[in-house]
Amino acid sequence: MKLTSTQVSPSEGFREAFILHLADNSLILGHRLSEWTGHGPMLEQDIAMSNIALDLIGQARNFYQYAAELINASKAPSFARPDDPVRRRESLSEVRLPEVTEDTLAYLREAKEFKNILLTELPNGDWAKTILKLFFFSTYQYFLYQKLIHSSDKQLSAIAEKSLKEVTYHLRWSSEWVIRLGDGTDESHNRIQTALDEVWGYTGEMFIPSDYEMQCAQTGIGVDVNLLKNDWDKKINEVLMEATLLSPKGERQGVRPIHNGKQGLHTEILETLLKEMQYLQRTYPGCEW
């Protein structure tokens, strides 16, 4: 397997890359959804969206904390054994890097280091588009976490177990909204149909594994995302049908999936998002409140 095809640097193992990918997905969509806070169409939905955003950011924290622990541990051994002459020489030549934390991972990485799928970074658009993105993503997380519970990595399994309960509510809530909008007024129907045609091309990326996902799936840490596709399709079709929405133009096989977020190649819109999200830490490094 060629390492050069991804942004995984030699010091960052497949496991760390996989965990960062999971964390980035949740953080970026969570941040997007939080943009609705104070702007929701009515108070209840404003609160619902903010609560879902909070769940996602909470999940991201769990993943980042774990990734930071692994990254720091992988740097540590060269300092640990001063009696070993080879290691000692290595450790002396090595510049001691500052500790990685959940905050440095979220707030101090560049866009090209983020491994989230492009669907999560797309601008919110109107309510219909936001709901649809969330519905596609929650369905994906729902099936992904069901499998990740069986990970040989105990911490990943624990995070999946915890998150799945929350995602079950997200999926239910977003499904109901897709149905309400699709089977609602002409205006709401048209809006969500337009959103569907626009967003659909971004859904394929979920099922195209990156090499770190493949490596992790093969070693029992991760999940083979290919295997999620049937369940995902089934659930999506069920809800779209109830929402009286037409299958997206050209079906998926005809649409070339828009992808590469997992490899760190993003749309320029992620830069804008990060500029806002990371502003405080970059302007006042280490600031707390």
**Which residues of the chain form contacts with other proteins (CB under 8 A)?**
44-45, 47-48, 51-52, 54-59, 61-62, 154-155, 157-159, 161-163, 165-166, 168-169, 172-173
DSSP code for 261: G
88 or 162: CB nearest other proteins: 162
Backbone angles phi, psi at 241, to 5 degrees: -65, -45
61 or 191: CB nearest other proteins: 61
153 or 205: CB nearest other proteins: 153
Q: CB 167 → other proteins: shortest distance, Å?
A: 10
Q: CB 231 → other proteins: shortest distance, Å?
A: 17
Q: CB 15 → other proteins: shortest distance, Å?
A: 18
d(CA 116, CA 16): 14
23 or 196: CB nearest other proteins: 23
Q: CB 205 → other proteins: shortest distance, Å?
A: 24
d(CA 114, CA 100): 15
Q: Token pair of 131, please?
A: 């709901």
Q: CB 84 → other proteins: shortest distance, Å?
A: 27
Cβ neighbourhood burial of 176 (10 Å; 0-12, 13-18, 19+): middle
165 or 275: CB nearest other proteins: 165
d(CA 179, CA 237): 12
d(CA 61, CA 243): 34
